[in-house]
Structure 1
Amino acid sequence: MIAALITVIVLILAAAALFVYRSIPDHRTAFLVDASIPAESSAAAARRGADFAAVARAVGSAAQNAGDADALSLRRFGGDCGEPGNTSQVVQSGTGRGNEIAGSVRQLTPGGHATLRSGIGAAIEDFEGLYPFRGEKSNRIVVVTSSGKDACTSDQRALLKEAHDKVKAAGLKLEFRFVGYKVPAGERADLGRLAAAVGAPAPRFADTTGSLAPILRKLVLPKEDEARKVTVPSSPGVPETSAGPKHTFVVGLSTGWAVTVTGTPVRCAATTGKPDTCQFTMHEGERLTLRATVSGPNPNPMGDMAEQNNPYYRPNRTPYWYGCDEGPRSRSCTVTMTKERVETSERWGDGASSPTGMAASRLLACVTTEETSELTLARTCAAATGSEGPPNPEVTYADGSTG
């Protein structure tokens, strides 16, 4: 009798262990979505409502494209300062939740202040319990926001410290990824500091619906070049002894300004008014970080006159990258040589399947600026890498009018 009882208990425990084992996902991703609306004007609120609809579509698309065995969840933030309802979990973590998240995020009604602090704190706490199970390989919070700072916190440094301490106290490897959609220019640095505080890469910014969805899809695991182990060289440009196939990679220097790019096996440079390229080889599995420094005289032939006659004119020396892992118009450039990157370049070679309708390559990254007189270079740079082009700049004339 006792032996039979012990046998039954062992079988129950074995079944429970098997259930737990099969229930633990490889990857768990939580979407944290900004559902706030600025209160400064009805026009701003209307624009934000339209922008949120674009965010909802992009988040839904990313969720539906995730792996069936990945655990997904959805949390929103936005509401009255100090109120417990200014963040809430909309869809609890679980596998096969892609369609549920897509439907739920579209039904959200945006409103209230950007309670980023509450949202991040609660999203971290969602991972602290034993159930729902954490991902065995990765646990990630993808923050999709149109605000760079918390509207209810006057001291943003307190937000940074609190976020840092919460991640540390959670006791697990928790990844953050930040995606800013139409974030005001004055708040982008705040979002960058928040990302740094939780050990995340620099935020990826999107200003159009066409660029938002691809960024989100790339951040939802598993992804071919993230699901497998990628060997990163100890120093850029130095291949590993067991490196994979080798491919030629090109860097385009298309700023119009004088520009220097470092981080490649060779130093690339171009002088004002003379766009140039440099090339080198990369092995599959190798990753490089490129940095650009813009200098020299203004390539705009009317630049000096514009500065003298228009108090609003500011030459645009800001470098933007296309063709990098971070997405179009990124301020930094990471290049991971993957098989997918090579195969995509082959498909886009004749322009038939290229997003821009012209021959494009994923074996090319180029740096440009958005100086008005050199905007053709930026658009060419975008098209050559299969990316959406830069927005039309808003010009402020000497009388203060814009156009």
Structure 2
Amino acid sequence: MNRIFKKIRNHFGFDAPADIDLRHLVYPKRFYNVLKYVLCKNKRMERLPYYPITLMVEVSTKCNLKCPGCERELYKSDPRTGGIPRENVKLEDFKGLEKVLPYVYSTYFVGGLGEPFMNKEFWDIHRFFKRHKVMTGYISNGMLIEPADCDKTIREGVNRVMISIDSHVKEKYEGIKKNAKFEKAVEVVREFAHTKRRLNAKRFQIGLNYIFRSDNYNDALDYLDFAKSLGAEYIMFTSFITHIEAEKDKPFFLVEEKEKEDLYRKLKEKARRLGISVRLPSIAPSKGCLCNSLWHGACIFYNGDVCACPFFRTTREFYYHVGRENRVEYAKRECLDTVMGNYRTGVNFLDIWNSEKAVGMRKAVLGGDFGFNPCGTCYYKHDLH
């Protein structure tokens, strides 16, 4: 039974590090949508008979930090992006998603270009999604979260939180996250753990987001002890995405594969011993790797755009690519967006999910079309599989 359940969990992409909550699947529309997804997943169809399983929802493009490696730096330097939008999405703007939410398993509120708690309507927006019995979570840098917010998070029915902490070393953390305070981040995670115990919220899950970089991956083993001491239950390890040329020496894939293999083996063993669930990015590009995003979920941005990929919402420069030899190579290239449509136009969401653009991207990825921009040489699709 455990093997079967683990296999099902692996179908859930971003949700896999935490526990799959079967209570959210008892609703007919959602159950049959997820069933169709599981049955069709390995068929890799171009047109999909189901709605997205997960929505990554941007609620604000305003941020309280100034991280040197953030995508915001791209928007400051590349005029094609139109500059940094400074928007808090209004509750009213999300009403166009009402018909799709009964089919969706999970929704994660992310800042995108910002921080969710910059939006004063955040809790009203969360309640709107929760009315549809969606599994919800949010990703935050934690700097604006107070003890009362930890309490409210659980009482409002948020299923999981993920606090972004890229190092357990104060100096390194504050160098990566400019304007952030290490002590505050630690305090927030501990407060969540304390509040969970106080409210006996056994199903609520506390996670950490750790971005592997060439200058912090060696800290990962000690980081597990740090995470355990704070009360974190799972860690989402991802790989650094280069947004500006000045950060081109930071990607994790610059580390030798043998070294990563050794690290992963030790990480998995230690995480198992500590009782922490982890999700790790791929060690290296693999031939035939398909993008999970095109079949699993969609990104909802502040202006209503529905994108296949969180990093290609606009035409932009991209610095690393996977070539025909399946090696990551450096090249500064212009990449196009992955906008499938806009839900505020009133178009049926399934039509956006199966738009000409969406079908074209799936077809290109399935056919191994290296000339298709931006999916053909994208390395991000190798990150979480």
Answer yes or no: same fold by TM over 0.5: no
**Going by fraction, where is helix more abundant, 1 or 2?**
2
TM-score after normalising by structure 1: 0.30
Question: Whose strand proportion is higher, 1 or 2?
Answer: 1
TM-score by length of 2: 0.31
User: Which protein has the larger Cα radius of gyration, Structure 1 or Structure 2?
Assistant: 1
